[in-house]
Amino acid sequence: MPTVSATHRPSPFPVTPRYWGRSLSGPPMLSSEAAWPGTLVRWWRDVEPDISQPPLDHHYLTMHLGGAKRVERRGEGRTEVVDITSGALSIVPAGAAFQWSTRGPVEFAHLYLAPRTIEQVSIEEFGRDAGTLSLEDRLGLHDPLLQSLFLTMLEEIAVLSASSRLYLDTLLHSLILRLLHNYAAAPPGPLRARYSLAPARLRRVLDFIETNLADDIALADLAAVAAISPFHFSRAFSSVIGTPPYAYLLHRRIERAKTLLCAGTDPVTVIASQCGFHSAGQFARMFKRATGRSPLHYRT
């Protein structure tokens, strides 16, 4: 399978995903910029079928959506023509440049991954510098796990549900591990042993969560409180508590909401904000999913 180095950039002029996005014939219908600082997901529909993609300073994963289509991709010394089903994926390493032509419905989502993010996961999880790895350049790939992770990201960004930042961070970490395990020319080997959380560090993390339930907490925030890397923190927390950080955060928000509903007469919109939900409607959906009752019914 053709490979491109995860950090090698053949062109002296790589561009950013945002700069390239402005050259497409229309804006994305969905973008993660407001919901998820630090990582970029974008979803386009009905743009021009012929797209010139310059060498980028990010790797990116494409999900082909909207229905079956034929995709021709020219660049990096070859031409490929592939019949692609909806939900199939393509992997484009940083520094590669292609001309894309689509015959059929034009709809796709991109997840852009900075090389430094790939490197950090590789070092933290495998003890190996990603500079020694090569990502496979793939067109029309079928991988049910990658597809599920990517689709869940899109759904989460679209609805901005509770624990959104923390949940998205966890999904991203799992997706990068899958890429490194299955789509690196030299697989990085077994995961390192997991770190545990000392009782004092765990208490600081739990206190931080309780104090900041109304805020949009990221995985990096909790890892900083624990003074370990984000990638180690997620596994260590799950090992000690028995549930992932995003699930624990949502549980504590629901429990805080129960207390506030029973203790006073504040409007549901106020309670939703006090517990870190983005809207009363979102709060109602998440609360009912957790308790089987609406907030107003619970209050009575």
Of 196, 195, 188, 183, whose CA–CA distance to 126 is shortest?
A: 188
Within this chain, do residues 92 and 60 fall inside the same structural domain, yes or no?
yes
Q: Kindly report the average pLDDT of the chain as a whole number.
A: 87
* Separation CA 245–CA 163 (nearest Å): 9
The predicted model scores a pTM of 0.82
CATH number at residue 74: 2.60.120.10
Q: Are 259 and 298 in contact (CB under 8 A)?
A: no
Within this chain, do residues 138 and 7 fall inside the same structural domain, yes or no?
yes
pLDDT of residue 187: 56
pLDDT of residue 19: 94
Confidence of residue 38 (pLDDT cuts 50, 70, 90): confident
Mean pLDDT for the stretch of residues 224-251 = 90
Q: Are 123 and 188 in contact (CB under 8 A)?
A: no
pLDDT of residue 118: 86
CA 161 and chain centroid, separation: 14
Percent of the chain whose predicted confidence (pLDDT) is above 90 = 63
Within this chain, do residues 149 and 236 fall inside the same structural domain, yes or no?
no
Domain end residue (candidates: 157, 182, 207): 182
pLDDT of residue 186: 62
Whether residue 127 is predicted with pLDDT greater than 80 in this model: the reply is no
pLDDT of residue 162: 60
- Give the domain range for residue 207: 199-299
CATH number at residue 206: 1.10.10.60
Q: Are 112 and 21 in contact (CB under 8 A)?
A: no
Within this chain, do residues 162 and 219 fall inside the same structural domain, yes or no?
no
Whether residue 188 is predicted with pLDDT greater than 80 in this model: the reply is no
Residue 41, classed as helix, strand or coil, is strand
Within this chain, do residues 84 and 219 fall inside the same structural domain, yes or no?
no
Within this chain, do residues 177 and 231 fall inside the same structural domain, yes or no?
no
pLDDT of residue 9: 40
* Separation CA 288–CA 17 (nearest Å): 39
Within this chain, do residues 176 and 280 fall inside the same structural domain, yes or no?
no
Whether residue 94 is predicted with pLDDT greater than 80 in this model: the reply is yes
Residues 6 or more apart in contact with residue 16 via CB below 8 angstroms: 56, 57, 58
Within this chain, do residues 98 and 218 fall inside the same structural domain, yes or no?
no
